[in-house]
Amino acid sequence: MEYYGVVGLVLAVLVWIWLAMVMKHIRVKLGHQLPPGPRCWPVVGNIFQLGLSPPHESFTILSRRHGPIMTLWLGSMCTVVVSSCEAARDMFKNNDAALAGRKVYEAMKGNHNHGSEGSLITSQYDAHWRMLRRLSTTEFFVTSRLDAMQGVRAKCIDRMVHLIDEAAAESSNCAVDVGKFFFLMAFNLIGNLIFSKDLLDPEMERGARFYYHAIKVMKYAGKPNVADFFPILKWLDPQGIRRNTQFHVERAFEIAGWFIKQRMENDIVGNGNSKDFLDVLLQFRGDGVSGPYSFTSRTINVVVFEMFTAGTDTTTSTLEWAMAELLHNPRTLSKVQMELRSKISSDRKMEEKDIESLPYLKAVIKETLRLHPPLPFLVPHMAMDSCMIGDYFIPKETQILVNVWAIGRDPKVWDAPLLFWPERFMQPNMVDYKGHHFEYIPFGSGRRMCPALPLASRVLPLALGSLLNSFDWILSDGLKPEEMDMTEGMGITLRKAVPLKVIPVPYKGSPVAAAAAAVAGE
């Protein structure tokens, strides 16, 4: 045992010295042109200088001292953090192609190092990725298809309203976990868009198992993994993150594969815009080589799974934060409910066509995305080639993190940046989130911008507006708005550390209240 202890100590010292020499060599080779950053320690780099705060907060504090373009060493991983709109503009306008790569973490690499194969999120920027991106913009999120599937979105949101109403009916003071209902709505919405099914249905046992494995993947993939920072540990997988993540990915693939097989055997394919996303994917199924759109069954599985993981957590995070901020700011809540109830008659539900006549509701969504972007660093970029951002050299394979959380709270850009004030988005010529205004890029910008933006811009206001129009909301246990816990947690997305639990009271003028009264009369 003593022998192995000595050997381990010697190996640790050798690794320490080797990494220190590598870092020194890079700095000398580049002529000290890397962006400035805190002095790093051998082996661990700057990891222990990040403190106990969530990374986006720690990086923001460090950027105030070292500048809006900053170098950090996370173990041996060279990371450049972009924390200003000027630096983001330079990155996306002048270096978009060079920085369009993806930093793929160990959890998502798969059992054979091909975890990013067919992935719209983690594939490197190449011809295959461009094909998938083109398919998503011309087939999935094109206006005509989104219009055709308007009824699907309405059905899922109506179901959410109904379930919350049922929960409220159980007790007059029953507080509900609104984040849970948002997640179930988003998950079923994606299930309907892809498979034309409510996967979280009492009779859909496979859907429940798919949900379980998807949740597990998001849990493991959101954990910091020492194997990402110290490559020598990759083969050990000391935390079991890669092993556990891939176990649940493969189980989810098996279930998705069953749905795909059923569709192929039954040969049930819709026509025109009525086709769901699986119909579109199967239309282009092939050997992955021939034809402009051609990919394997594995690629279909990857795309399907990514839609669930990317679409559910981000939607849930944004809607839960919107509700929390409104309850934390009662005057704003009253104002948006007044707008809703003055524009939507009491004898009908909110519909997508109402969104354009509800500017304050849209401003609430925009302000929520400014303060609480669901992905505070976007999805990590990687330099495919060396380039310059401003006066600084960015080496090939450097990880690039765009701190959109910090950019959205920059006092040089935003008045009263920590204040939840939707009115700022009611001003003429205000910025939008389409990737052209670099002080506000919650969905990213450039080639790797989120392709589902057209879908999100419909779902978010409709889901939030439906709940605000159908219910009045009361904080539980006599909690006052100023006493709410608004702490941020961190996983794959920026969720509330403490789930929002609140009492829904059916609004007396809403269809929900009318239905409840009819049931009570019976």
Instruction: Give, for 473, the enclosing helix (H) or strand (E).
Output: strand 471-475
The closest of 321, 300, 443, 324 to 372, measured between CA atoms, is 321
pLDDT band at 290 (very low <50, low <70, confident <90, very high): low
The closest of 177, 273, 236 to 496, measured between CA atoms, is 177
Residue 513 confidence (pLDDT):
55
The annotation status of 40 as a binding-site residue, yes or no, is no
Looking at the structure, tell me whether residues 45 and 22 fall in a common domain.
no
Looking at the structure, tell me whether residues 399 and 455 fall in a common domain.
yes
Looking at the structure, tell me whether residues 375 and 466 fall in a common domain.
yes
Q: What order of strands is seen across the sheet that includes strand 471-475? A: 176-177, 501-506, 471-475
Looking at the structure, tell me whether residues 71 and 210 fall in a common domain.
yes
Q: Give the whole-angstrom CA distance, residue 269 versus residue 282.
A: 9
Q: Which three-class secondary structure string do you get for 390-425? A: CCEEECCCCEEEECHHHHCCCCCCCCCCCCCCHHHH
Looking at the structure, tell me whether residues 244 and 318 fall in a common domain.
yes
The reply to whether the predicted model has a pTM over 0.85 is yes
Is the pLDDT at 104 greater than 50? The verdict is yes
Residue 131 confidence (pLDDT):
87
Residue 4 confidence (pLDDT):
46
Residue 31 confidence (pLDDT):
52
Q: What is the mean pLDDT of residues 88-96?
A: 96
Residue 261 confidence (pLDDT):
86
* Count of domains observed in the chain: 2
**Residue pair 192/304 in contact by the 8 Å Cβ criterion:** no
Looking at the structure, tell me whether residues 24 and 70 fall in a common domain.
no
Looking at the structure, tell me whether residues 110 and 202 fall in a common domain.
yes
Q: What is the mean pLDDT of residues 382-409?
A: 96
Residue 519 confidence (pLDDT):
47
Residue 111 confidence (pLDDT):
58
Looking at the structure, tell me whether residues 73 and 15 fall in a common domain.
no
Residue 22 confidence (pLDDT):
56
Looking at the structure, tell me whether residues 487 and 399 fall in a common domain.
yes
Residue 169 confidence (pLDDT):
84
84: CATH: 1.10.630.10
pLDDT for 7-45, tens place per residue?
A: 445 455 555 555 555 555 555 444 558 999 999 888 899
Q: What is the mean pLDDT of residues 76-80?
A: 95
What is the CA 134 to chain-centroid distance, rounded? Answer: 21
Residue 119 confidence (pLDDT):
86
Both tokens assigned to 339? 């707008």
Residue 430 confidence (pLDDT):
81
Q: What is the mean pLDDT of residues 129-158?
A: 92
State which residues form the domain around 26. Answer: 1-32
Is the pLDDT at 520 greater than 70? The verdict is no
Looking at the structure, tell me whether residues 43 and 26 fall in a common domain.
no
The sign one gets for the Cα dihedral 285, 205, 241, 105 is positive
pLDDT for 168-211, tens place per residue?
A: 887 777 899 999 999 999 999 999 999 998 888 877 889 999 99
**φ, ψ for residue 171 (rounded to 5)?**
-160, 140
| Non-local CB neighbours of 27 within 8 Å, separated by 6+ positions | 34
Looking at the structure, tell me whether residues 372 and 337 fall in a common domain.
yes
Looking at every residue in the chain, the average pLDDT score rounds to 87
Looking at the structure, tell me whether residues 109 and 21 fall in a common domain.
no
pLDDT band at 423 (very low <50, low <70, confident <90, very high): very high
Decide which of 404 and 118 is more confident: 404
